[in-house]
Amino acid sequence: MGVSKIEMILLMLVLCGIGVYVWWMREIPMSIDSKVWSGKLFTGRPDAVIKKGPWIIPVEFKSANHEEPMESHKVQLLCYCFLLEENGYNVPYGILRYRGKKFKIHWNSKAKRYLMKIAEEAIQSLSKNEPPLPLAENDNRCYKCPYRFICKQ
């Protein structure tokens, strides 16, 4: 029992189709116009952007090594997803890369609502014209805070 010519042709078509799909879905580094990185709510620029099939994916590299993504890093990446989507790109997720680990942070309606909630809270806090509540004692983020000298008094 040999393989018929029709079966061989079908097999070749399937293999070619798989090859085309793999080629189409490869990750291609790309450059995005700098105007994309300033929107109505957010401004920023990821470390890299890749095209994978019909999608555009922001990538953020961090020099630290964490077992789980830090919340502030996830929010930063979600801002990049928002900016890309706001400019008409199809963004399914972003990639957060720590040394030795890679996390896919999904961009969907739930993530967008979460980001908008955080943005709204930040805008409300900044509009009060008074310092935010202190962070937990010995929080590493305090050294970058403009209120660090008056906050803990």
Residues 61, 99: Cα–Cα separation, whole Å: 8
Structural domain includes residue 100: yes
The answer to whether residue 22 sits within a structural domain is no
Using one digit for the tens of pLDDT, what is the confidence trace for 39-57?
777 888 888 999 998 999 9
In a domain, 8, yes or no: no
Query: In angstroms, what is the C-alpha Rg of the chain?
Result: 22
CATH number, domain of 121, equals 3.90.320.10
Range from 66-80, 105-119, 137-151 carrying the lowest mean pLDDT: 137-151
Determine, yes or no, domain membership for 124: yes
- Residue 32's domain comprises 27-131+144-151
Name beta bridge partners: 102: 97
pLDDT given at position 153 = 45
Dump pLDDT digits (tens) for 53-90: 899 999 999 988 888 899 889 999 999 999 999 889 99
Assess if residue 63 is contained within a domain: yes
Looking at per-residue confidence, does 116 or 38 come out higher? 116
The answer to whether position 64 is within a domain reads: yes
Q: Is 7:31 a contact under the CB 8 Å cutoff?
A: no
Q: Which residues of 29-59 are buried (b: 16+ CB within 10 A; e: fewer)?
A: eeebeeebbebeebeeebebbbeeeebbbbb
**What's the number of domains the chain is made of?**
1
CA distance 59 to 75: 13
Compute the distance between CA of residue 81 and CA of residue 69 in angstroms, rounded to an integer.
16
On whether residue 7 sits in a domain, the answer given is: no
- Give ∠ CA 64-96-117 in degrees, rounded to 5: 110
Q: Are 44 and 76 in contact (CB under 8 A)?
A: yes
